[in-house]
Chain A
Amino acid sequence: MKIAQHTLKLLCFLLITLSGSISFAANDTTQKDTGEINTSEKVKDYIAHHIKDSHDFHLVSYTNDAGERKHVGFPLPVILWSSNGLATFMSSEFHHTDDGSVIVEKNGSKFVKVHSKIYELEPNASSISFDDEKHPINANRVIDFSITKSVFGMLVAGILMLLLFGGLARQYKKTAIPKGFGRVLEPLVIYVRDEIARPNVGEKHYRKFTGYLLTVFFFIWVLNLMGLTPLGFNVTGQLAVTAALAVFTLIIYTVSGNADYWKHMLWMPGVPVLIRPFLAVIEIAGAFIVKPFSLLVRLFANISAGHIIVMSLIAIMVVMKTELGAFGSTLLSFVLSLFITLIELLVAFLQAYIFTMLSALFIGMAVAEHDHDHKHDDHGKESTDAEDVRSEFI
């Protein structure tokens, strides 16, 4: 903490001196629009665009000598379920447009892409038109099973996990102690098993759920880390992705809940009968709405916020160029974004940990075995067992 403060002071000093002395880069801003991201409005749009899923894998854009905007990346397959059935084509057919200006015709349906979403034009419409709030009026959403950037990212993460942990599994066939990168992975697996699954689910049942918890932990963590790379994935910042994860946990703890769990939810023992229906309503809302929402919103919000902050700090380089000079703004943005990226590195782990931990906790609450005839010790006090202590803690 002390070191951080010291560094911050030094930084401020440097920035002040630099911004005063360097002003050579204050070039004109009146050049024509080449698609460069050089104003705060455009930065805002760019970040909003990045946070969303996209249909092609875009790496960099640049303006060539002829003044043309070039995009480097590769197209991804688009798979749509429209009113005329299945339609597949490559995303390159939209020519990088995102305003609905290019119409792709497939299987007798006309598709346009607006703000990263694909719409099907109504049969008699020839071009898309919008209302005042920029909602399309003559086009409908289609169900989009495309291999979008997020799906691509998930596949990459899945293959990465299979390679890494499959390799680790294969190592055990030869020796009891893994070598190389396996030595890094093994403690992580043990950590999730011993620090997340075992204490939260309970000693008796944790084995059944360890597979799911391990998968979810590493899936979220790998995707969070991929989001920090310049490839610009934002998979765990997609509401649909975190919702699917939360639904998985919901299904698991609903299916594996024992009789005690349901009894405590629907007809709480030990409270006056008149209160029981109200408690049941609260408990049901807690189990089916609050718990999954706490899971999906926490992960989504944390990761999205992280992406927005990092990108905004990087954008300082562009939007504060006139005030601080090229060097000053670059330095400021570099240092701040480095600092936040380090925190995001921690957040990437932390969110994976929290999601898995809470999942384990919810499962643990559903499978916990309460013994109602608690053992009494000599003084007539109830001897506490692990389950009781945990439920108090929750």
Chain B
Amino acid sequence: METLLNDFSPGLFVMQTVILLALIFLMVKFAWKPIIGSLDERESGIKAALEAAENARREMENLQADNQKLLQESRLERENMLKEAREIKKSMIEDAKDEAKNQANAMIEQALEAIENEKRSAMAELKNHVASLSIEIAEKVVRQELENKDKQLELVESMLSDAKLN
């Protein structure tokens, strides 16, 4: 113990104190402050970058989910549209068929009516024709026959027997 105390040099103690003080001051000013500062800066930068990456990932996930939902929706819509279209097609065909049937019926009726009319007019014309013909004949016959009285009577007789029409 005595040698230890004897070896203790107060001068060295003072020198060490002065040097250490100066060293602490210089190191803090020129080394530790800038080093720790940039280390902190870098660490916070890394932290921020990691957070940003995480956010981006989450956003991406959200976006993907949205996309999936959208796709699902559009598929459903398409199906609905197809179904609707099919129904419309069906009803349109039905309608068209009905229409056509109606139209055809109407046309047939019209045609029948026209035919009836034509037939009637043709009949009338025929009647007229027959009438005029028979008058002509009758005239001729009358002229020939009516040269004598007997003959005229005979004729009228025969004609009347013939003209038992309808």
A and B together in one complex = yes
Inter-chain CA distance A247–B26, complex, in Å, is: 20
Q: Which of B24, B31, B39, B42 is the most central at the interface, judged by chain A CB atoms within 10 Å of its CB?
A: B31
For the complex of A and B, the 9 pairs showing the least CB-CB separation, nearest first, are: A165-B31, A144-B11, A172-B38, A211-B28, A169-B34, A240-B12, A244-B16, A240-B13, A211-B32
Inter-chain CA distance A161–B24, complex, in Å, is: 11
Summarize B's interface: helix, strand, loop or mixed: helix
Given contacts A190-B39, A244-B20, contact A162 B30 (CB under 8 A): yes
CB distance from B19 to the nearest CB of A (A): 5
Tell me if A196 is interfacial: C-beta within 8 Å of chain B.
no
Say yes or no: B16 contacts A154, CB within 8 Å.
Answer: yes
Please name all residues of chain A whose beta carbon is closer than 8 Å to the beta carbon of B15 when the two chains form the complex.
Answer: 145, 147-148, 151, 154
CB distance from A115 to the nearest CB of B (A): 9
Q: How large is the interface on A (under 10, 10 to 19, 20 to 34, 35 or more residues)?
A: 35 or more
Tell me if A248 is interfacial: C-beta within 8 Å of chain B.
yes
Say yes or no: B11 contacts A169, CB within 8 Å.
Answer: no
Inter-chain CA distance A244–B14, complex, in Å, is: 8
A-B contact pairs, 8 of them (CB 8 A): A53-B12, A150-B16, A151-B15, A172-B38, A215-B24, A240-B13, A244-B16, A245-B20
Inter-chain CA distance A366–B1, complex, in Å, is: 31
Tell me if B27 is interfacial: C-beta within 8 Å of chain A.
yes
CB distance from B41 to the nearest CB of A (A): 8
How many chain-B residues does the 8 Å CB contact rule pick out? 33
Please name all residues of chain A whose beta carbon is closer than 8 Å to the beta carbon of B17 when the two chains form the complex.
Answer: 244, 247-248
Closest to A81 in B: B11
Summarize A's interface: helix, strand, loop or mixed: helix
Say yes or no: B10 contacts A240, CB within 8 Å.
Answer: yes
Closest to A173 in B: B34
Given contacts A161-B27, A169-B34, A176-B38, contact A248 B11 (CB under 8 A): no
Please name all residues of chain B whose beta carbon is closer than 8 Å to the beta carbon of A186 when the two chains form the complex.
Answer: 35, 39
Instruction: List residues of A whose CB falls within 8 A of some B CB.
Output: 52-53, 117, 143-148, 150-151, 154-155, 158, 161-162, 165-166, 168-170, 172-173, 176-177, 186, 189-190, 193, 207, 210-212, 214-215, 219, 238-241, 243-245, 247-248
CB distance from A294 to the nearest CB of B (A): 16
Say yes or no: A168 contacts B12, CB within 8 Å.
Answer: no
Please name all residues of chain A whose beta carbon is closer than 8 Å to the beta carbon of B32 when the two chains form the complex.
Answer: 165, 189, 210-211, 214-215
A239 partner, pick from B7, B26, B27, B42, beta carbons under 8 A? B7
Inter-chain CA distance A146–B35, complex, in Å, is: 34
CB distance from B9 to the nearest CB of A (A): 5
Closest to A219 in B: B23
B8 partner, pick from A168, A190, A193, A240, beta carbons under 8 A? A240
Inter-chain CA distance A176–B42, complex, in Å, is: 7
Tell me if B163 is interfacial: C-beta within 8 Å of chain A.
no
Inter-chain CA distance A177–B12, complex, in Å, is: 40
Given contacts A169-B30, A211-B24, A219-B23, contact A238 B35 (CB under 8 A): no
Say yes or no: B26 contacts A162, CB within 8 Å.
Answer: yes
Say yes or no: B11 contacts A145, CB within 8 Å.
Answer: yes
Please name all residues of chain B whose beta carbon is closer than 8 Å to the beta carbon of A248 when the two chains form the complex.
Answer: 17, 20
